[in-house]
Amino acid sequence: MAETNDESTKQATGETCPVCGVTILGDEVRFSSGSPGTRARLYARVCQYAQDRGCINKDPSQIGQVSQEDGYTEGEDVKLSGG
Ligand SMILES: [Zn+2]
C-alpha cells in the first residue's frame, strides 16, 4: 500500500487565519471568493472585526497601510455625537 497523498502537498507555504478562514501567502491574501488581495485589505474587511486573539492578521507591521479602498467605504461620514 503506497501512500499517494499528493492532493495538496505542493501548496505554497501559507498561513490560514483560523478565525477568518482566509489564507495568507506571503503578502498575498486568498479570499474564499473574489480576487486575491493584500493583508491590508483582509484586515480592513475581515480581521478588524474579528474579536479573537487567534486572528493572525493583527500585526500592524505586517499589515502596513490600510487605505480607504481596502475597506467597504461608500462615502459615508462617521459623525460623532455631540458638538
Ligand atoms: Zn484574521
Q: In this predicted model, what pLDDT tens digit does every residue of 23-37 receive, in sequence order? A: 999 889 998 788 899
Three-state secondary structure call for residue 38: strand
Residue 67 lies in a domain: no
Question: Would you say residue 76 has pLDDT above 90?
Answer: no
The answer to the question of residue 32 being in a domain is yes
Contacts of 4 (CB under 8 A, 6+ apart): none
Q: Is the pLDDT of residue 55 over 90?
A: yes
What is the pLDDT at residue 27? 84
Q: Please count the residues of the chain.
A: 83
Grid cell at residue 43: 484586515
- Residue 68 within any structural domain of the chain: no
Identify whether 78 is part of a domain: no
Q: How far is the CA of 2 from the centre of ligand 1 (A)?
A: 37
Give how many domains the chain has, as a whole number.
Answer: 1
Percent of the chain residues topping a pLDDT of 90: 45
User: pTM of the full predicted structure?
Assistant: 0.68
Which residues constitute the domain of residue 26?
A: 15-59
Distance 59 CA to ligand 1 centre (A): 10
Q: Is residue 65 part of a domain?
A: no
Q: Is residue 4 assigned to a domain? A: no
CA distance 12 to 51: 28
CA–centroid distance, residue 76 to ligand 1 (Å):
25
Q: Quote the CA–CA distance of 48 and 59 in Å, as a whole number.
A: 11
CA 73-78-79 angle, 5° bins: 165
